Amino acid sequence: MAVQTGRAVQTGRAVKDGLYEQFARIGKAVANPKRIELLDLLCQGERSVEVLADAAAMGVTNTSAHLRVLREARLVGTRKEGTRVFYRLADEAVCGFYLSLRDLASDRFAEVEQVTRDYFEARDELDPVGRGELLARAGDGDVIVLDVRPGEEYEAGHIPGAISVPLSELEQRLASFPPDAEIVAYCRGPYCVLAPQALELLHRHGFRARRLEEGLPEWRQAGLPVAVGRERRA
Q: Is 38 helix (H, G, I), strand (E, B) or coil?
A: helix
CA–CA separation, 153 vs 188, rounded Å?
9
CA–CA separation, 211 vs 198, rounded Å?
9
Is residue 43 annotated as a catalytic residue, yes or no? no
Residue type, 226: V
Quick check: 39 and 26 in contact, CB under 8 A? no
Q: Is 56 helix (H, G, I), strand (E, B) or coil?
A: coil
Q: Is 175 helix (H, G, I), strand (E, B) or coil?
A: helix
Cβ count within 10 A of residue 113? 12
Nearest CA among 181, 184, 179 for reference residue 159: 184
Measured CA angle at 63 (ends 229, 78), to 5 deg: 50
CA–CA separation, 92 vs 204, rounded Å?
38
Residues 6+ apart with CB under 8 A from 29: 35, 69, 70, 72, 73, 75
Residue of 43, 95, 187, 192 with catalytic role: 187
State the catalytic residues: 187
